[in-house]
Amino acid sequence: MSNADLSAELQLQTALMLLKQAGRELSVDAEPGSTPWLQAVVDALCDLSSRDALTGLANRRQFELTITREIDRVARAGEPALVLMADIDYFKRVNDAYGHPAGDEVIKVVAAALQDCVRPMDTVARYGGEEFAIILPNCPTAFGLTVAERIRSKVERRPINVAPGVDVNVTISIGGAFAPQWVRSSAALWVERADRQLYLAKTQGRNRVCLEHAPVVLVSAEEKGMLFGTSQFQDLE
């Protein structure tokens, strides 16, 4: 076996080990080493790299890729789109009272509740720690509020087993912002607007939803500078 072949074999074995450790099984009925089998390995690795290990949601990197594409689509098509930022209330109390494994269980259950409340076309991501982000394309104002309230209510009503015979209930605060239509904004500006609404939800008592009432009509100086910018995805369509 040549050095190149040996290197390729080692890389393949490393890839398979990573998939095994993550509990990912190849969903393909093909001979190991065949082209369909190798493609399945590549596809599984790509999916693994875009998922949060604890929750199975999209990870921060995948969220950033998705929101950048959505910004481009909104600038071109002008359809309403909403980003929600959600944060578990008083999460530190769970870790302090029951330990970090209990905190992980809370994060997983909340993640599942969020995923249950959205459409297949929406993206739910673990943004970091106990914070989540949701991108809702083609989302009218009334629909966004309905979804956000559905998420808040479902989390509030779902008991979470954190120890033998011990269930807890947690709540979340949600902030949301609409992308400015027909404007090439940026992920940072859009998320910042949603974060401001999340801050309001926290300061107003938690376990509540605060959304911008309508898509932003005031365009920032930075967005004006990007108004005639070039899409980084225009060659991919």
Active site residues: 130
- At 176, list the tokens: 């949301």
CA–CA separation, 110 and 172 (whole Å): 9
CA–CA separation, 237 and 219 (whole Å): 27
Q: How many CA atoms lie within 13 A of 150 on its CB side?
A: 13
Residue whose pair of structure tokens reads 């808040």 in the numeric block: 152
For the chain, what's the residue count?
237
Please provide residue 44's backbone torsions phi and psi, each rounded to the nearest 5 degrees: -65, -40
Separation of CA 143 from chain center? 19
DSSP category for residue 80: -
- At 79, list the tokens: 């359809």
CA–CA separation, 222 and 211 (whole Å): 22
Residue 216: strand, helix, or coil: coil
- At 194, list the tokens: 């949603």
